[in-house]
């Protein structure tokens, strides 16, 4: 089992499609905002009641919010073990030092490296820069925890579909209203199809900059 996961991580790091993605490809972790209640309950140190509570509180717009929801019930060691399996991806350009340290085994050195290369224009830049310090397996593991916001007006279909939980229907809606002239336009148009909570979750992955 361990070998198969290790091989998968290496393949993710080396695959050309991954380099184009803007949200890291999950191989060994699930997204706390889109996982089912049953999936959450099956994770280390989780209970059915805690999983239900998380689903009711979603979406978590930052990893800090998820950590705050879990901290009253779990110890620091338990949280670290849990974050090997579930996480809310952090925005490479805005995340805090504290959130980077929530990535299991990241450490202070990786905090410095993550922040040194801001602003990130694409996840490929993260691969190139962080790949100077870690091997392909570790790079693929770290990628799972991060994203770079996509440009609403120029992102490819493949990049848009890296947003967790976003399928082909929302891909069509994202593209239908191009060119976007403001984030307010995105909220107005995409808000026709999803509720306010889901709109807020999707918005964290997009930008009109870059």
What confidence score (pLDDT) does residue 6 get? 46
Cα–Cα distance between 49 and 70 in angstroms, integer?
12
Q: Give residue 12's pLDDT.
A: 42
Q: Which fold would CATH assign to domain 150-207?
A: DNA polymerase; domain 1 (1.10.150)
Tokens of 99: 């959130």
pLDDT in tens, 128-139: 999 999 999 999
Low-confidence ranges of the chain (pLDDT < 50): 1-19
Strands 146-147 and 90-91: parallel
- The residues of the chain that CATH labels 1.10.150 are 150-207
d(CA 139, CA 85): 16
Q: Where are the alpha helices (DSSP H) in the chain?
A: 2-14, 16-20, 37-41, 48-57, 63-70, 76-82, 97-100, 107-116, 123-130, 136-143, 157-160, 168-176, 183-190, 196-203
pLDDT computed for residue 210 by the predictor: 58
Sign of CA dihedral 187, 88, 57, 52: positive
So what's the pLDDT on residue 209? Answer: 76
Q: Is 150 helix (H, G, I), strand (E, B) or coil?
A: strand
pTM over 0.85: yes
Q: What distance, in Å, lies between the first and last C-alpha atoms of the chain?
A: 40
Sign of CA dihedral 186, 118, 83, 50: negative
184-199 pLDDT per residue, tens: 999 999 999 999 999 9
Helices 136-143 and 2-14, packing angle to 10 deg: 90
Tell me how crowded residue 68 is: count the other CB atoms within 10 A of its CB.
Answer: 12
């Amino acid at each position: 089992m361990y070998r198969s996961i290790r091989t998968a991580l290496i393949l993710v790091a080396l695959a050309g499609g991954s380099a184009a993605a803007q949200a890291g490809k999950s191989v060994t972790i699930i997204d706390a905002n889109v996982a089912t209640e049953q999936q959450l309950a099956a994770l280390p140190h989780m209970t059915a009641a805690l999983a239900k509570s998380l689903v009711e509180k979603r979406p978590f717009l930052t990893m800090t919010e998820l950590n705050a929801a879990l901290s009253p019930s779990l110890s620091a060691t338990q949280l670290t073990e849990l974050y090997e399996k579930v996480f809310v991806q952090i925005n490479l350009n805005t995340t805090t030092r504290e959130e980077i340290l929530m990535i299991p085994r990241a450490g202070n050195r990786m905090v410095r490296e993550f922040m040194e290369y801001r602003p990130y224009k694409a996840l490929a830049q993260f691969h190139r820069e962080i790949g100077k310090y870690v091997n392909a397996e570790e790079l693929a593991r770290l990628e799972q925890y991060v994203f770079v916001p996509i440009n609403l007006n120029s992102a490819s279909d493949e990049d848009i579909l890296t947003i967790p939980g976003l399928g082909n229907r929302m891909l069509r809606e994202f593209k239908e209203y191009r060119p976007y002239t403001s984030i307010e336009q995105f909220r107005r148009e995409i808000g026709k199809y999803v509720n306010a909570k889901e709109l807020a979750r999707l918005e964290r992955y997009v930008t009109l900059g870059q």
